[in-house]
Amino acid sequence: MHIPDGFVSTPVAAVGCVVAAGCIAYAVKATNKKMGERQIPLMGVLAAFIFAAQMLNFPIAGGTSGHLIGATLAAILLGPWAGVLIMTCVLGVQCLVFQDGGLFALGANIFNMGIVASFIGYYVYRGGASLFGGRRPGKLVGGGLAAWSSVLIASIACAFELGVSGTVPLGVALPAMVGVHALIGIGEGLITAAVLGLVLATRADLLELQKA
């Protein structure tokens, strides 16, 4: 889902940069108010974990592969605005150091995988967990469903950006992106649920729902 340079038009890239910059600025303000001494180190640990986990690809249909995005996991543990900051750091390093995603398209990539994925994952998790009264099964199922949804909706946003840019017709980009990322989302959901299960077994207090 990392968009390379040359795949989005100048207006789309500019809008992505402006929206991403505004959200990042607000995220810094919001997290400064809400984060305590316990959460700040966890942000660094999560960023490092997500960065490392994204380096590991898992195979899907048609000889393609996918990897963890991690935005939902960050949003569940620390809230969506902290998730935006964590994903911005991860995506920025990937872009600048590993050329994974273009610099020109960085704003669009942050919007898709940082902002959209964090907030979709956060609110789907809230809904899923509340259906089970906050019990362990609800948290695990809600986390898995939230992660899958975040990947799917982020891929739809990416498809629209490519379609509006004229890179690929929307009628081609949308089903292709949704089809592949619906499968990638299954892997994301399983990994997220597994990590949440480990957190519940060791530090259940970290799953006290953070407010947006």
Distance between CA atoms of 103 and 98, rounded to whole angstroms? 11
Of 133, 160, 147, the closest CA to residue 186 belongs to 147
Q: What is the dihedral of CA 123, 80, 88, 31, to 10 degrees?
A: 170
Per-residue confidence (pLDDT) for residue 161, from 0 to 100 = 95
Token pair belonging to 52: 């490392």
In the numeric block, the tokens 């199922």 are attached to 141
pLDDT digits (tens, 9 = 90+) for 176-202: 899 889 989 998 999 999 999 998 888
pLDDT digits (tens, 9 = 90+) for 6-28: 899 999 999 999 999 999 999 99
Distance between CA atoms of 182 and 193, rounded to whole angstroms? 16
The secondary structure of 80-101 as a DSSP string is HHHHHHHHHHHHHHHHHHH--S
Full set of structural domains in the chain with CATH: 10-207 (1.10.1760.20)
Contacts of residue 174, Cβ cutoff 8 Å, sequence gap at least 6: 156, 159, 160, 163
pTM score, whole prediction: 0.91
Check: CB of residue 76 under 8 Å from CB of residue 196.
Answer: yes
Per-residue confidence (pLDDT) for residue 65, from 0 to 100 = 61
Sign of the Cα torsion 200, 111, 186, 212 reads positive
